[in-house]
Amino acid sequence: MNYQGVIEVSELTECIRQLGQQSGQLVILDCRYDLADSNAGENAFLAAHIPGARYASLHRDLSAPCSLYGGRHPFPSASQFAEFARANGISKDTQVVVYDSQRFAFAARAWWLLRHFGHQRVAILNGGFGAWLEAGLETTEGSASTPNRGNFSPSPSHDELRHYEEIYQHLDNLPWQLVDARDHKRFQGLEEPIDPIAGHIPGAINKPWQAISDDDGFLRPLVELREHWQSIPADDEIVCYCGSGVTACVNLFSLSLIGRKARLYPGSWSDWCAHILHPRTESA
């Protein structure tokens, strides 16, 4: 059994039945989070979660500590992410399933990081925690038990990333199509509730991440995803960004499902703002 990309609730229950969660063959990560309250996701996990799941915090586990540059959720180092994966029992052959309750917003970040660091056996639960509840399946409360350590060995693909310096140097003739995953009002600069500057990177187009799923958090059919992305020629290279490199991963997830390669600007708009407000000498 090798689930990649997306997994349905019925498939996950069968996966749990066949593999169990004590042998290290299956690891389920609960990625629920609230940007307005960094403790809300973990509190929700403690109240109820899929049996056997372990909590993955966006700011603690799926991001590095903040600094001047790198955005609001800096990209974790290989060593930091490897320690998180090992501590949660992930090894080379582990099937990982990630979920949230926010239409893939945070589960996609975990999915993308695992794949970036060389772990291909990872899938996002379609419909998230809401689909599990809707199916009437059991939940459990409290902290997860400590698993046996995994032997996860990171093998990062650095070519999947594009950083500020590369993008800035090519602004006059971008070799990639920049895709902004934020909602339309933020892209247009009509409002900016989080970052210090409103607007978007010159040359970017807007593909809001919420368009990938329906209102109940289920992935749209592949035919619709292909139609969603067909405005960008198939031979154009795509670089995705958002506010801080999180919801851009939802767009990357959808592109992967339809067989299109794309890269991530991990610092995204919050990093771009930092460079505007605090320009380095060489980019001033």
> Residue 173: what pLDDT?
93
Q: Does the active-site annotation cover 249?
A: no
Q: Are 46 and 142 in contact (CB under 8 A)?
A: yes
> Residue 93: what pLDDT?
93
pLDDT tens per residue across span 72-122: 999 999 999 999 999 999 999 999 999 999 999 999 999 999 999 999 999
Give the Cα separation of 58 and 38 in Å (integer): 8
**What residues contact 206, with CB distance under 8 A and at least 6 apart?**
179, 180, 182, 184, 187, 188, 200
Distant-in-sequence contacts of 161-164, Cβ < 8 A, 24+ apart: 161/75, 161/116, 161/263, 161/264, 161/265, 161/266, 162/239, 162/263, 162/264, 162/265, 163/265, 163/266, 163/267, 164/69, 164/265, 164/267, 164/271, 164/272, 164/275, 164/283
Q: Which two tokens stand for residue 111?
A: 């999915």
Q: Is the pLDDT of residue 153 over 90?
A: yes
| Cα 267-230-160 angle, rounded to 5 deg | 30
Q: Which two tokens stand for residue 63?
A: 């991001």
Q: Is the pLDDT of residue 282 over 60?
A: no
Q: Cα separations (Å) of 165 from 170, 267, 279? A: 9, 11, 11
* Averaged pLDDT for residues 252-274: 97
| CB burial readout 167-180, b (16+ within 10 A) else e | beeeeeeeebbbbb
> Which amino acid would we find at residue 45?
F
Catalytic residue among 240, 242, 249, 273: 242
Query: What is the 3-state composition of the chain as percent helix, strand, coil, each rounded to the nearest 5?
Result: 35, 15, 55
Reported pTM: 0.95
Query: Residue 115: which of 154, 149, 84 has the closest Cα?
Result: 154
Dihedral sign from CA coordinates of 35, 37, 38, 43? negative
Name the DSSP class of 230. Answer: T
Q: Are 211 and 228 in contact (CB under 8 A)?
A: yes
Dihedral sign from CA coordinates of 190, 196, 199, 200? negative
> Under the phi-then-psi rule, with left for phi > 0, alpha for psi from -120 to 50, and beta for the rest, what region is 55?
beta
Name the DSSP class of 244. Answer: S
pLDDT tens per residue across span 160-203: 999 999 999 999 999 999 999 999 999 999 999 999 999 999 99
Q: Which two tokens stand for residue 214?
A: 């329906």
CB-count burial class (<10 Å; 0-12, 13-18, 19+) for 55: buried
Q: Is the pLDDT of residue 12 over 60?
A: yes
Tell me the domains of the chain and their CATH numbers. Answer: 5-134 (3.40.250.10), 158-283 (3.40.250.10)
Give the Cα separation of 55 and 46 in Å (integer): 9
* Averaged pLDDT for residues 258-267: 97
Query: What confidence tier does 17 reach under pLDDT thresholds 50, 70, 90?
Result: confident
